[in-house]
C-alpha cells in the first residue's frame, strides 16, 4: 500500500515529478522524460502556466482549431475552437459555409443578469424577518460600496436583493437572492465578494434589531456563493432561408429534408434520452469556443443543462419550424461569459483567440458562442437525417486510428484514399493496415 505524503505542495516541480515517477510507475525515466517533453522551452511562459493551478507537473495540450466563414450579424468571423473530438471543427466550418450564402447567422443578447445567493437559517417569526430585511436592505448596498465602485464605473453593479422564503422545501431555510450586472467580466469574484459582505452585514446587524427576540437574532449563515444558473442572462442565435434553398443537391427534396429535420428536433424535445445527446452536440461547439476564450466551460455546461430542464423535463435547446415557406432554426441559451479578467488577460493563446474575434465585449462573445452551438447542431442533425452521423465522423477518426497504429505519413495518405469509398470502422482499418504491412514487408 502506498503511504500518504505530507507537504507535497511545498515540493518543487522536479521533486513532485520524481515522487510521482518513483511511486506509481515502473519505467520512471520514460515517465519523467514524457512529462518534461510537454514543458514549454520559454521559461517565463512555462512559469505562467505553472501558476494557473496547484501542484503543476506539466502541460496538457488540446488542439486549437479554426472554423472560418462564419457570417454573424453581417460580420465575418473565424472562430477559435479548443477541442479533442474529431469532426467538430469540420462540422462547424461546413455549417458556416452552408449558411454563408443564405444570409448568415443572426444573434441577439436578450438579457445579462447574473445571480448570487446568501443561504441562511432562521427559525423565528416570518413577519419579523420581512421587517428586518426591509430595514437592512439599504445598508446591504451601502456596505458593499467599496467593492462595487469600480464595477459601477463600467456600468455594472448590484441590481437587486430579494428575501426568499424556502421554508416549504426545507425547515428554517431562507435566502438573499441577489442579481448583478458584471458588464464584460464573468464576475465570479465580484459577486462572491458582494455576497460575503451581505452575509456579514445581515447576520451582524440582526443582533441589534430590537424587534427580534434573543433566539431570532441568531441568523445562521450557511454559505454565500454565486449561481451558475443564469436564466436571465440569455442569448438567441438563429438562421433562416426559403425551404427551397435548404438543399445543395437536386437528389434531395428540400421539403422532405425540412420535414425530417424538424421531426428530429421534435424528437429531441420529447425524448430525454435523445435530448441529452442532441444537446451534447450543441455543447461540442459551445465548449470549444468557451475554452479557447479562457472562460469556464464547466459553469456554462451546468447552467445550460439546467436551463434545458427548466420546464420540468430535460429537452432540446434548439427549435425549428417552417412558416410561410421559410425555414427557421434557432437556439436560446443562458451564457455567463467574460472578456476581461481571469485567463483572458493571462493566457497568450486566449488573448490571441479574442483578438482573432475582434476583441469582442461580453455580449458579442455570447453571440459568437451561441452561433457556434447552433452551427454544430445544424451540422449534426443534417447528417443524422441524411447520410447518418458515422460517415463523416469515422472519416475524421481514421487518422486517429492510423496514429494509434503508428502509421507513416505515406501510409496515412494511402489509407485516406483507400477508405474514400469504404465504411470506416476500427476493425476495418486494423485489418486493412495489417494486410498492407504484410504485403509490403521487405
Q: Which three cell numbers stand for residue 345?
A: 488577460
Please tell me whether residue 126 adopts helix, strand or coil conformation.
helix
| Catalytic residue status for 393 | yes
Q: Which three cell numbers stand for residue 40?
A: 514549454
Strand spans (E) along 129-219: 157-165, 173-181
Q: Which of 49, 280, 363, 412 is catalytic?
A: 280
Residue 182: CB atoms within 10 A of its CB come to: 26
| Catalytic residue status for 13 | no
Q: What is the CA radius of gyration of the chain?
A: 27
Whole-angstrom Cα distance, residue 388 to residue 381?
A: 9
Give the helix ranges, DSSP H, for 25-175.
28-37, 43-50, 88-100, 126-142, 145-153
- Order the strands of the 157-165 sheet from edge to edge: 157-165, 173-181, 114-121, 220-227
Q: Could you identify the residue written with the cell 472554423?
A: 67
Q: Which of 16, 217, 393, 397 is catalytic?
A: 393
| Catalytic residue status for 85 | yes
Would you give the DSSP letter of residue 418? Answer: H
Q: Which of 85, 152, 216, 332 is catalytic?
A: 85
How far apart, in Å, are the Cα atoms of 324 and each of 244, 247, 320, 327? 12, 18, 14, 9
Length of the chain: 442
| Catalytic residue status for 250 | no
Q: Which of 181, 184, 238, 296 is catalytic?
A: 296
> Across the strands, what pairs with 66?
80
Would you give the DSSP letter of residue 232? Answer: T
- Listed residue (293, 288, 287) closest to 338, CA to CA: 293
Catalytically annotated residues: 85, 280, 296, 393
Amino acid at each position: 500500500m502506498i503511504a500518504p505524503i505530507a507537504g507535497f505542495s511545498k515540493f518543487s516541480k522536479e521533486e513532485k515529478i520524481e515522487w510521482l515517477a518513483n511511486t506509481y510507475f515502473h519505467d520512471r525515466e520514460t515517465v519523467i522524460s514524457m512529462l518534461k517533453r510537454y514543458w514549454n522551452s520559454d521559461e517565463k511562459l512555462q512559469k505562467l502556466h505553472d501558476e494557473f493551478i496547484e501542484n503543476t507537473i506539466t502541460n496538457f495540450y488540446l488542439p486549437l482549431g479554426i472554423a472560418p466563414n462564419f457570417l454573424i450579424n453581417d460580420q465575418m468571423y473565424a472562430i477559435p475552437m479548443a477541442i479533442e473530438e474529431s469532426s467538430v471543427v469540420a462540422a462547424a466550418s461546413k455549417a458556416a459555409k452552408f449558411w454563408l450564402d443564405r444570409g448568415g447567422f443572426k444573434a441577439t443578447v436578450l438579457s445579462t443578469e447574473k445571480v448570487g445567493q446568501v443561504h441562511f437559517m432562521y427559525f423565528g417569526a416570518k413577519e419579523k424577518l420581512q421587517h428586518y430585511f426591509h430595514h437592512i436592505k439599504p445598508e446591504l448596498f451601502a456596505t458593499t460600496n467599496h467593492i462595487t465602485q469600480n464595477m459601477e464605473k463600467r456600468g455594472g453593479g448590484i441590481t437587486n436583493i430579494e428575501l426568499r422564503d424556502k421554508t416549504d422545501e426545507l425547515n428554517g431555510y431562507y435566502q438573499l437572492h441577489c442579481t448583478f450586472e458584471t458588464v464584460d467580466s464573468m464576475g465570479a469574484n465580484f459577486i462572491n465578494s458582494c455576497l460575503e459582505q451581505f452575509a456579514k452585514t445581515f447576520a451582524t446587524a440582526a443582533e441589534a434589531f430590537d424587534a427580534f427576540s434573543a433566539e431570532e437574532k441568531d441568523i445562521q449563515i450557511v454559505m454565500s456563493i454565486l449561481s451558475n444558473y443564469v436564466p436571465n442572462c440569455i442569448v438567441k442565435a438563429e438562421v433562416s432561408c426559403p425551404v427551397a434553398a435548404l438543399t445543395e443537391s437536386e437528389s434531395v427534396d428540400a421539403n422532405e429534408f425540412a420535414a425530417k429535420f424538424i421531426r428530429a428536433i421534435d424528437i429531441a424535445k420529447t425524448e430525454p434520452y435523445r435530448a441529452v445527446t442532441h444537446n451534447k452536440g450543441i455543447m461540442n461547439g459551445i465548449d470549444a469556443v468557451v475554452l479557447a476564450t479562457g472562460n469556464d466551460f464547466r459553469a456554462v455546461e451546468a447552467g445550460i443543462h439546467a436551463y434545458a430542464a427548466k420546464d420540468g423535463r430535460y429537452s432540446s435547446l434548439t427549435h425549428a419550424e417552417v412558416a410561410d415557406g421559410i425555414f427557421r432554426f434557432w437556439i436560446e441559451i443562458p451564457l455567463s461569459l467574460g472578456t476581461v479578467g481571469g485567463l483572458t488577460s493571462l493566457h497568450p493563446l486566449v488573448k490571441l483567440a479574442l483578438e482573432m474575434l475582434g476583441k469582442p465585449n461580453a455580449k458579442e462573445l455570447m453571440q459568437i458562442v451561441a452561433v457556434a452551438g447552433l452551427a454544430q447542431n445544424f451540422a449534426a442533425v443534417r447528417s443524422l437525417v441524411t447520410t447518418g452521423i458515422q460517415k463523416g465522423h469515422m472519416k475524421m477518426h481514421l487518422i486517429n486510428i492510423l496514429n494509434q497504429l503508428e502509421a507513416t505519413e505515406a501510409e496515412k495518405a494511402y489509407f485516406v484514399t483507400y477508405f474514400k469509398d469504404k465504411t470506416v470502422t476500427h476493425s476495418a482499418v486494423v485489418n486493412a493496415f495489417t494486410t498492407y504491412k504484410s504485403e509490403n514487408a521487405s
